[in-house]
Amino acid sequence: MTEHYQHRARKRFGQNFLHDAGVIHRILRAIHAKPGERLLEIGPGQGALTEGLLSSGGMLDVVELDLDLIPILKGKFDSNPNFTLHQGDALKFDFTSLNPAPNSLRVVGNLPYNISTPLIFHLLENASLIRDMHFMLQKEVVERLAATPGGGDWGRLSIMVQYHCAVEHLFNVGSGAFNPAPKVDSAIVRLVPHATLPHPAKDQRLLERVVREAFNQRRKTLRNTLKALLSGEAIEAAGVDGSLRPEQLDLAAFVRLADKLHEQTTVAPAH
């Protein structure tokens, strides 16, 4: 019996390897990759999804940080001409270096909890290159991504991701599907960048700022949390009730507030 080199999951990379064949099949079915498509897998681990993605006939780039996994991945997949491995940190990876056509890149990943939010924001900076994203994330993160206004899950992450993407919470995955089993349940989410933004802001950075300020003290009213940026009158002028709490506002209302701030900060040119 040949001895297989066993890689132990590393805590510092937040690694939990997917091993449940039923779950793997279900994820691959949801992605439904086709021949010739440009696929990007972030954190392939030991290649549980990689194999199925390659068998679709797509062109697959993978980004893996853990040096110990590189020989395992190369050993399994290097002979496939459609497989390209990049050793490095996905948070610093330049997605434009893959030279994808606009709206062509299909991104897949079982993302460690500690990098999931910054990585999603890093990808959204390149939203024009991306056709869709399928991620395995901690279930509570998926609930926040897919949240609607009015509940405790609705916040900065929901608003800024939904500004760019349609979000679909596909299905949940129990901790038993992983080795080692994490202490939390996971879920699969599909993010599809909007072809046309439903509520485009005049300045996206101002939208981020308004949302961040508003949710810094989510129990307080907007009049209180936004007072450094907008007066009560300016909030009302944007068609927003200043006595509401931030979680009661939808994306469109936040965009109106950001545009009001933009109006204030854009001084009319002197004649």
- Residue indicated by tokens 């933004």: 197
> What are the binding residues?
16, 18, 43, 64, 89, 110
> What are the binding residues for S-adenosyl-L-methionine?
16, 18, 43, 64, 89, 110
> Taking the chain, what is the end-to-end CA distance rounded to the nearest angstrom?
85
Please list the residues that pair with 188 across neighbouring strands. 136, 171
108 close to 39: Cβ distance less than 8 angstroms: yes
Please list the residues that pair with 85 across neighbouring strands. 62
Q: What is the full DSSP assignment across 233-251? A: HHHHHTT--TTS-GGG--H
> How far apart are the C-alpha atoms of 263 and 102, rounded to whole Å?
32
CA-wise closest residue to 136 among 237, 28, 217, 219: 28
Please list the residues that pair with 41 across neighbouring strands. 62, 108
Neighbouring CB atoms inside 10 A of 212's CB total: 12
Which two structure tokens, joined as six digits, stand for 256?
């109106």
User: Could you give phi then psi for residue 40, rounded to 5 degrees?
Assistant: -130, 120
